[in-house]
């Protein structure tokens, strides 16, 4: 037996401390994202007994609000037992998301370790964890409340259960892998492409991985999918199919030239976000081209499991990335939940090519380069800088999260528990613990001017007549309208027509009066205008926000 390559505990300590520091910085200083509001608000509705699609609009699978509903006490009251009594709202949601993201990185490290021989496992684990967690971009999107952390954790847990099940000949682990991967598809729709890939791959290589592995996996995935999707598909078939599938295909991306620009921009930003990983990939290709032979000699029980799992990982990576690339308007952060798989797929051949003697140096080099990349990331500047005024950098007076909390406190002072808040910024309703008018749960994506009244009722959104009726009849004592409010029409996601914009602004001005402005608020740093419903003389308030 060859002794394991010795990885200094100090390297692990530095990597873990760097990951924790980046997570804390992004939690408290990271810019707000509109998605955080409707994900947390949806979780709150589920905690109260409502269901997505049936009772409110929701544009992803149902798993995330179902899981986050379990943590609703943290979102509303914080964690007083450990001194975080005021860490509710968005901060509480970010805390849970951070923990899920770090857990995903740990599972990815374990997965990489299981795909190489014993003497290289420590190096593969550290290299994988470093690529994932010592990355400001990945850390930010594993911190803000989106589906990425949860989806990555479920997807990686599925692959790890699959590898363990194959190497140990445990059918129940392969069955569990199907459950995890189906749950991942229920958290993020594009992850669903992994299910047929893994199923047919196991079927094709059944002699190497077990004759019935495909069957166990298929049973687990089918049962989980039936449990997650089937009840909602039966209860709200039209809304379910629209929000989970159709809505994501209807966005308007402009001309063919603009579509090409968006896709090139997607590739460019992904390369910028993960250039350390892509650099490692190029180094692996060069090393193989130069004739460097892998020195990894896995135990016989691990050969088939490791090779088949890496093959499935690469196929899954390619399929999910292609789906994201082909989206009408691809965002680079779509790749966040799938990047840990790329880290695993790169770390394994990297340590094999390095060999036992050079693995410690490989992990040291990756850690140094990743720390350097983290220190030079442009996202770091966004923690403190508001923008630029000609030659002067404008420093933020508070973090976006703190400004959100201060604004929410003002709204709480001016309203009563149970009041509605007229806003298309759901994170403000979450932070203030106030209700949104029914139909505004998707924030700026709640206005579908061209659909019929019946379809608007089924989808739980507003058409033109419905939004006009809401603005004319709402009893919300306050309206909080940022640059995202009354500005976007769906499903194409294009600006409101000048006629609609003028009409809605006139209705708001007729029924509400200006209370205060909050500049540089929320995502994209727009101005939030807070109005009070006209009911007499305007009281004197503190307008320092």
- DSSP state letters, 404-452: HHHHHHHHHHHS-TT-BEEES-HHHHHHHT-BPPTT-TTGGG-B-TTS-
User: How high is the pLDDT of residue 536?
Assistant: 52
User: Which residue in 89, 68, 69, 94 sits closest to 78, CA to CA?
Assistant: 89
pTM for this one?
0.92
DSSP three-state, residue 272: helix
Query: H/E element holding 256?
Result: helix 256-273
User: How high is the pLDDT of residue 189?
Assistant: 93
Give the number of other CB atoms < 10 A from CB of residue 263: 17
Six-digit token string for 364: 């040291």
Question: What's the CA gap between 308 and 206, in Å, rounded?
Answer: 10
CA distances from 300 to 164, 305, 472 (A): 14, 10, 72
User: How high is the pLDDT of residue 541?
Assistant: 41
pLDDT tens digit at each of 545 positions of the chain? 456 767 789 999 999 999 999 999 999 999 999 999 999 999 999 999 999 999 999 999 999 999 999 998 887 765 554 444 445 799 999 999 999 999 999 999 999 999 998 899 999 999 999 999 999 999 999 999 999 999 999 999 999 999 998 877 788 999 999 999 999 999 999 999 999 999 999 888 877 777 788 999 999 999 999 999 999 999 999 999 999 999 988 877 667 777 888 889 999 999 999 999 999 999 999 998 887 666 555 544 454 455 668 889 999 999 999 999 988 888 899 999 999 999 999 999 999 998 888 899 999 999 999 999 999 988 899 999 988 888 888 999 999 999 999 999 999 999 999 999 999 999 999 999 999 999 999 999 999 999 999 999 999 999 999 999 999 999 999 999 999 999 999 998 899 999 999 999 999 999 999 999 999 999 999 999 999 999 754 443 444 45
Six-digit token string for 180: 């995890």
Q: How many helices (H) and strands (E) does the chain have?
A: 23, 8
Residues whose CB falls within 8 Å of the CB of residue 203, separated by 6 or more in sequence, listed in order: 214
């Amino acid at each position: 037996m060859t002794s394991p390559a010795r990885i200094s505990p100090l390297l692990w300590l530095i990597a873990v401390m760097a990951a924790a520091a980046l997570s804390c910085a992004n939690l408290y200083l990271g810019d707000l994202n509109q998605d955080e509001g409707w994900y947390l608000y949806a979780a709150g509705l589920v905690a109260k007994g409502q269901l997505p699609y049936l009772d409110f609009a929701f544009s992803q699978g149902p798993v995330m609000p179902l899981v986050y509903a379990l943590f609703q006490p943290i979102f509303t009251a914080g964690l007083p037992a450990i001194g975080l009594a005021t860490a509710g709202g968005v901060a509480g949601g970010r805390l849970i998301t951070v923990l899920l993201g770090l857990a995903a990185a740990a599972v990815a490290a374990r997965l990489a370790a299981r795909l190489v021989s014993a003497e290289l496992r420590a190096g593969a684990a550290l290299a994988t964890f470093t690529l994932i967690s010592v990355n400001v971009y990945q850390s930010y999107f594993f911190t803000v409340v989106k589906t990425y952390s949860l989806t990555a954790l479920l997807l990686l847990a599925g692959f790890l259960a699959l590898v363990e099940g194959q190497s140990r000949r445990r059918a129940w682990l392969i069955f569990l892998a199907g459950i995890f991967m189906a749950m991942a598809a229920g958290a993020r729709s594009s992850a669903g492409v992994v299910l047929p890939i893994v199923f047919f791959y196991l079927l094709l290589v059944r002699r190497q991985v077990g004759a019935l592995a495909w069957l166990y996996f298929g049973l687990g995935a089918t049962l989980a999918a039936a449990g997650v999707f089937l009840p909602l598909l039966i209860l709200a078939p039209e809304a379910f199919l629209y929000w989970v599938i159709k809505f994501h295909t209807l966005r308007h991306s402009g001309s063919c030239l603009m579509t090409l620009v968006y896709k090139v921009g997607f590739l460019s930003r992904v390369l910028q976000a993960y250039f350390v990983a892509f650099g490692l990939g190029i180094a692996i290709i060069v090393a193989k081209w130069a004739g460097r032979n892998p020195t990894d000699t896995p135990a016989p029980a691990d050969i088939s499991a490791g090779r088949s799992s890496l093959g499935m990982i690469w196929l899954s990576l390619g399929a999910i990335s292609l789906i994201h690339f082909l989206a009408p308007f691809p965002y680079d952060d779509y790749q966040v939940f799938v990047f840990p798989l790329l880290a695993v797929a790169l770390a394994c051949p990297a340590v094999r090519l390095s060999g036992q003697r050079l693995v410690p140096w490989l992990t040291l080099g990756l850690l140094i380069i990743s720390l350097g990349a983290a220190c030079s990331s442009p996202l770091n500047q966004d923690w403190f800088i508001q923008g630029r005024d000609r030659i002067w950098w404008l420093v933020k007076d508070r973090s976006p999260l703190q400004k959100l909390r201060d604004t929410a406190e003002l709204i709480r002072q001016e309203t009563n528990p149970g009041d509605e808040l007229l806003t298309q910024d759901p994170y403000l309703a979450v932070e203030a613990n106030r209700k949104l008018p029914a139909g505004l749960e998707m924030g700026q994506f709640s206005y579908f001017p061209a659909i019929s009244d019946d379809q608007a009722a089924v989808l739980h959104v507003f058409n033109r007549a419905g939004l006009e009726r809401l603005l004319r009849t709402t009893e919300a004592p306050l309206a909080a309208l940022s640059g995202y409010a009354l500005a976007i029409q769906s499903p194409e996601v294009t600006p409101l027509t000048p006629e609609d914009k003028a009409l809605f602004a006139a209705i708001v001005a007729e029924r509400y009066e200006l209370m205060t402005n909050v500049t540089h608020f929320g995502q994209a740093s727009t101005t939030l205008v807070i109005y009070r419903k006209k009911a007499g003389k305007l009281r004197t308030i503190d307008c320092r926000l």
